[in-house]
Amino acid sequence: MRQPKIVIVGAGMTGILLTIKLREAGISDITVLEKAAKVGGTWRENRYPGVACDVPAHMYTYSFEYNPEWSDFFAKGDEIQAYFERVAEKYRVYDHIKFNQEVSKAERQDGKWQIQCKSGEAYEADFLIHATGILHHISLPEIEGLDSFQGEMFHTARWNQDIDFKGKRVGVIGTGSTAAQFIPELVNAGAEVSVFQRTPQWLLSMGAQQYSEKDKAKMRARPGIMRRIRQRAEFGLEHIFTKAVTGQKLQGALLSWACKRYLKKSIKDPVLREKLTPDYTVGCKRVIINNTFYDAIQKPNAELVTEGIECINEKGILCKDGRQRDLDVLVLSTGFKPFNFMRPMELTGRDGLHIDDAWGKKIQCYRSLLVPNFPNMFLMLGPYTPIGNFSVIAMSEVQTQYILKLIQAWREEQFEELDVKQAAVESFNQRMKAGIKNTTWVGGCQSWYQDEDGDPILWPFTWKQWCSEMSQVDYGDLSLEK
């Protein structure tokens, strides 16, 4: 059985997983190109105070590597980073990683992928797998005067660890899940925090449980405890949360009630509560799992600003009501560019087709993995993979099994070059777009889920259906050349 040369771009959660599973399948010629000096991806990049995952910790692990060391029901970022480093060490993933190798160009030539790095290093592959994730290209706000501010200014993914926030006047632009996590940390540290809100968010309180050293010892001795915690979390997300956002009325009503009740119980001031009340359907934007923001925003050293930003100047922010707020620090909690995927890499497929031209009208994939005219290439966690707040680790594991089936067919010499038929791509995307019409993501909001046309690019059906459809390869949708 022949051995493929495989290049994986990215040593985050998915890159680590792919390397482990490819090795288990007997494939050894694996090169992982990582732009940074450490593994971890999102959790390496995001080091802001209070950073945590909004998926239950025992669910946010590989299915083959439970972790008894979590301290909280929702794991903190430093513990997640440590977990991925431990897994990479245990499964010898480091043997395959080339650090500080940012890919600048990948081109399909003569039946192979030719990969160039900014360092000047070059690699060749039979299969190219993009495990670049979606939350690493920062998005900056388009506000007049952004570059004129004379104080400290940074994006949350570029957090300045050297600042003592006590007594500092801090402005925060953005109110998403990241902001909800670090704003309470700044407030509790004694900063004077002004939160500039364009759109309020729906919040949900759940899972404040902490795990003691005694709890951890029990889990080490009895792994079945972790399995049961994981199963309960999966059941709740699959049968309540995911079904709520994908159009099931009963679950949707329950989720809506829970979010509105949490807001009403937490915010006593009716004026502030009104400012924090969204005018769109619960679930249209990603629901924020958080137990600390509402308490923090009511403290004397916190201020919610809703008048809108006129401009940023050297001293701070001027609002549209004419009021100037002088600041020492400006934090941009404005998210990422989720549809960059593998870009800005110069990616060229069959007959010199550039990815920007292939996606010129619409970003489209087949099964969130295959891009037509880019043979023997896979895009992990591509369009239509976010699934109702479910764990992206579970999504990557499902995709990895699908990929392994195709690579195994190549090893058995069933094909040399694998592509997807354009008709299959169009059929898949039409079905996704039709399914989206029944979900809460068309509930009257703008979100990072939406592409340039305003179409949410998420899986509109259940988690069970995702697993079922991905369990088998439909070779009729594919083009195999020998």
Measured CA to CA, the distance from residue 132 to residue 341 in angstroms comes to 6
pLDDT cut 70: percent of the chain above it: 100
In a domain, 160, yes or no: yes
| Neighbouring-strand partners of residue 377 | 128
Beta strands in 306-432 (DSSP E): 309-312, 316-319, 324-326, 329-332, 346-348, 377-379, 417-420
389 has a pLDDT exceeding 80: no
462 within domain boundaries: yes
- Residue 135 vs residues 88, 93, 125, 444, 468: alpha-carbon distances, Å: 21, 22, 26, 24, 27
Please determine, for residue 451, whether its predicted confidence score (pLDDT) is greater than 90: no
Residue 390 has pLDDT above 90, yes or no: no
* Statement to judge: residues 263 and 328 lie in one domain: yes
Q: Which residues contact 344 (CB under 8 A, 6 or more apart)?
A: none
3-state secondary structure of 299: coil
The CATH number linked to 427 is: 3.50.50.60
Q: What is the dihedral of CA 388, 389, 392, 393, to 10 degrees?
A: -110
Q: Are residues 419 and 449 in the same domain?
A: yes
Residues 199 and 173 sit within 8 Å (Cβ to Cβ) = no
State the chain's maximal CA–CA distance in angstroms: 72
The answer to whether residue 320 is domain-embedded is: yes
8 A C-beta contact, residue 429 and residue 124: no
Strands 6-9 and 30-33: parallel
Q: How many CB atoms lie within 10 A of CB 360?
A: 9
| Chain centre distance of CA 355 | 21
Whether residue 253 sits in one domain with residue 395: no
What is d(CA 43, CA 80) in angstroms, rounded to the nearest whole number?
A: 7
pLDDT at 37 over 80: yes
Residue 9 and residue 342 in contact, taking contact as beta carbons nearer than 8 Å: yes
Residue 188 pLDDT level (bands cut at 50, 70, 90): very high
Residue 167 above 80 pLDDT?
yes
Does 212 share its domain with 261? yes
Answer yes or no: are the C-beta atoms of 6 and 70 closer than 8 Å. Answer: no
* Cα–Cα nearest to 198, from 215, 179, 173: 173
Residues 327 and 343 in one domain: no
pTM of the shown model: 0.95
pLDDT at 447 over 90: no
Asked if residue 460 and residue 401 are part of one domain, the reply reads: yes
Give 356's contacts (C-beta < 8 A, 6+ positions apart).
Answer: 343
Give the pLDDT mean for 94-122: 98
Domain containing 257: what range? Answer: 146-332
What is the count of structural domains for the chain? 2
DSSP string covering 331-366? EE---B-TT-TTTTSEEE-GGG-BHHHHTSS----B
Would strands 30-33 and 316-319 be described as parallel, antiparallel, or unpaired?
Answer: unpaired
Residues 97 and 32: beta-carbon distance below 8 Å: yes
57-72 pLDDT per residue, tens = 999 999 999 999 999 9
410 lies in the same domain as 282: no
For residues 365 and 382, give the distance between their C-alpha atoms in angstroms, rounded to a whole number.
7
On whether residue 235 sits in a domain, the answer given is yes
Pick the closest to residue 15 from 196, 116, 136 (CA basis): 136
Which of 334, 337, 292 shows the shortest CA–CA distance to 312?
Answer: 334
Both 253 and 215 in a single domain?
Answer: yes
Same structural domain for residues 345 and 326? no
CB 44 within 8 A of CB 81: yes
Residue 288 amino acid letter? I
Q: Establish if 257 belongs to a structural domain.
A: yes
Q: What is the gyration radius of the CA atoms in the chain, in angstroms?
A: 23
Which of 309, 332, 355 is the C-terminal boundary of a domain?
332
Q: Last residue of some domain: 332, 356, 371? A: 332
The reply to whether 419 and 358 lie within a common domain is yes
Q: What distance in Å separates the CA atoms of residue 229 and residue 65, rounded to the nearest whole number?
A: 14
Q: What is the C-alpha separation between 166 and 163, in angstroms, rounded?
A: 9
Of 32-41, 50-59, 176-185, 233-242, which range is least confident? 233-242
Has residue 443 got a pLDDT over 80? Answer: no
Assess if residue 82 is contained within a domain: yes
DSSP-assigned letter for residue 93? G
Domain presence at residue 251: yes
- Placement of tokens 């009208």 in the chain: 361
Contact present, 170 and 329 (Cβ < 8 Å): yes
Q: CB of 154 within 8 A of CB of 140?
A: no
Please, are residues 458 and 387 in contact by the beta-carbon 8 Å criterion? Answer: yes
Indicate if 350 and 326 belong to the same structural domain: no
Task: Label residue 275 by pLDDT band (50, 70, 90).
Answer: very high
Question: What pLDDT is recorded for position 101?
Answer: 98
pLDDT digits (tens, 9 = 90+) for 341-379: 999 999 999 999 999 999 998 899 999 999 999 999 999
Phi and psi of 43, rounded to 5°? -80, -20
DSSP for 162-204, please give it: T---TT-EEEEE--SHHHHHHHHHHHHTT-EEEEE-SS---EE
**Cis-peptide, bond into residue 344, ω within 30° of zero:** yes
Asked whether residue 1 is assigned to any structural domain, the reply reads no
pLDDT tier at 98 (50, 70, 90 boundaries)?
very high
Reported as a single tens digit per residue, the pLDDT across 305-354 is 999 999 999 999 999 999 999 999 999 999 998 888 999 999 999 999 99
> Is the confidence at residue 414, as pLDDT, over 90?
yes
- Final residue of a structural domain among 304, 332, 360: 332
Cα 174 from chain centre: 17
Whether 405 and 325 share a structural domain: no
Q: Which residue has the tokens 């509402």?
A: 294
